[in-house]
Amino acid sequence: MKPIFEKPSLYSFSLPALKENLKAAGFKPFVADQLFSWIYVKFEVDMENWTNIPKKLKEYINESFDTSLPKIIWEGLSKDGTRKFLVGFRDGKTVETVMIPAKNNRKTICVSSQVGCAIGCTFCHTGTMGLSRHLEAGEIIGQFLAISKFIKKAEGEEARLSNLVYMGQGEPLHNFENVKSATEILLEPKGLGLSQRKVTLSTSGLVPQIEKLTEFPPINWAISLHAAHNEIRSELMPINKAYDLDRLLSAIKKIPLKAHRHITYEYLLIDQYNDRKEDIDALVDLLPKKVSKVNLIPFNEYPESSFKRPSVSRITWFKNQLEDNGITCTIRTQKGDDILAACGQLKSEMEKKLNLWES
């Protein structure tokens, strides 16, 4: 856990880490189980309501940890049920968090892992902001808790988040230790208890960190590929100049995969740019067939970008061509486009309005 504030968030601690901390302070380690049950099973973060927790422990928690949740500064509900949130932290920095409903009452939360992003992809609104700071693990978990509480109030007590994707602002592997701690907390059976199969981390391709993924719990991995030629990928993603497709693909091949799991390759489709026949041929050559799945993401247009989204028929043609060549392929449907779409767009628009972004 990398400290960001002097007083760490209580929600940055995994169960074993909290046990260790409490033990060192002279408390019985099992009280950590009780705290996890209040916070992550009952979603009760108000200490006043922790009936079985002794006063002395509450005092220690008060002195040693920050227990505040991020604030929901703005919330928008789309016609398709997607909710977008602008979430503010204790230093006033903000990120966006999205909740996407799916079939069978499943709900996915898309969390941010950093304020801004250092990778600077040319198609990405967040990329234009630069990196402001990493989020601490408790701020990632804080997004989960704050949105859980919000939807329980708005949609009923039984409403719960079942899936999580690290696809909001930021490059999760650039904030490796904190994202790892947050993932351990998400999966903790005595707490939130999310299944490994329901957590997905998307990365732009930081090769040294991909090589360390053996240290991570075995969740789902998504790689933002976006191009199968080095020239195009370097134009879209400056990270490709440091770690090109060869290095990226050989690092990915070493990620240990459990049976029946695959790597998802995200491929942004930009009109007349990376949606040509030669891009399909290059993709087919590049990807290991049996363990790869391609998720096509039609580009979300925004005023400051000259990139355009291909037509529906072009997108379908691209998908069919890949499938004819034995590559499993899905198209990411656009969610919540009536409430500001592209990654980072909500944050910028809201901050312009609320005048929050100090730089």
Residues that bind ligand SAH (CB under 6 A): 123-124, 167, 171, 202-204, 224, 266, 268, 297, 299-300, 342-343
- Smallest gap from Cβ 148 to ligand SAH, in A, equals 21
Using CB under 6 A, which of the segments 3-11, 26-34, 87-95, 115-123 binds ligand SF4?
115-123
Residue 157 or 304 with smaller CB distance to ligand SAH: 304
Quick one: what does residue 299 bind among ligand SF4, ligand SAH, none, with the CB cut-off 5 to 8 Å set by partner type? Answer: ligand SAH
Among 8, 70, 88, 127, which residue sits at the site for ligand SF4 (rule: CB under 6 A)?
Answer: 127
Residue among 111, 112, 117 at smallest CA distance from 133? 117
Using CB under 6 A, which of the segments 13-21, 67-75, 165-173, 190-198 binds ligand SF4?
165-173
Considering only residues 336 to 355 of the shown chain, the ones binding ligand SF4 according to CB under 6 A are 343
**Contacts of 72 by beta carbon, 8 Å cutoff, 6+ apart:** 85, 86, 87, 88, 146, 147, 150
Residue 173 or 283 with smaller CB distance to ligand SF4: 173
Helix (H, G, I), strand (E, B) or coil at 112: coil
Among 4, 18, 121, 161, which residue sits at the site for ligand SF4 (rule: CB under 6 A)?
Answer: 121
* CA 263 to each of CA 189, 255, 295: distance values in angstroms, whole numbers, following the listed order: 25, 9, 10
| Count of CB atoms situated within 10 Å of the CB of 260 | 7
Considering only residues 208 to 247 of the shown chain, the ones binding ligand SF4 according to CB under 6 A are 224
Given the residues 6, 96, 117, 349, select the one marked as catalytic: 96
Q: Which tokens in the block code for residue 21? A: 């901390």
Residue 270 or 327 with smaller CB distance to ligand SAH: 270
- What single-letter DSSP state applies at residue 66? B
- Smallest gap from Cβ 131 to ligand SF4, in A, equals 9
The residue to which tokens 């933002």 are assigned? 224
Concerning whether 96 is annotated as a catalytic residue, the answer is: yes
Given the residues 110, 117, 121, 343, select the one marked as catalytic: 343
**CA-CA distance, 280 to 13, in Å (whole number)?**
44
**CA-CA distance, 284 to 298, in Å (whole number)?**
19
Residue 239 or 287 with smaller CB distance to ligand SF4: 239
Among 78, 82, 143, 204, which residue sits at the site for ligand SF4 (rule: CB under 6 A)?
Answer: 204
Quick one: what does residue 76 bind among ligand SAH, ligand SF4, none, with the CB cut-off 5 to 8 Å set by partner type? Answer: none
Residue nearest to ligand SF4 (CB): 127
The residue to which tokens 């020239």 are assigned? 231
The answer to whether 147 and 161 have CB atoms below 8 angstroms apart is yes
Helix (H, G, I), strand (E, B) or coil at 320: helix
**CA-CA distance, 18 to 8, in Å (whole number)?**
12
- Smallest gap from Cβ 267 to ligand SF4, in A, equals 13
Contact status: 119 vs ligand SF4 (CB under 6 A): yes
The answer to whether 202 and 265 have CB atoms below 8 angstroms apart is no
The answer to whether 87 and 146 have CB atoms below 8 angstroms apart is yes
- Smallest gap from Cβ 174 to ligand SF4, in A, equals 8
Using CB under 6 A, which of the segments 123-131, 255-263, 277-285, 300-308 binds ligand SF4?
123-131
* CA 151 to each of CA 99, 174, 275: distance values in angstroms, whole numbers, following the listed order: 9, 30, 38
Residue 8 or 116 with smaller CB distance to ligand SF4: 116
Amino acid at residue number 333: T
**Contacts of 226 by beta carbon, 8 Å cutoff, 6+ apart:** 121, 123, 233, 236, 237, 266, 267, 268, 274
**CA-CA distance, 159 to 69, in Å (whole number)?**
19
Contact residues for ligand SF4, defined by CB under 6 A: 117, 119-121, 124, 126-127, 169-171, 204, 224, 343
- Known catalytic residues are 96, 343
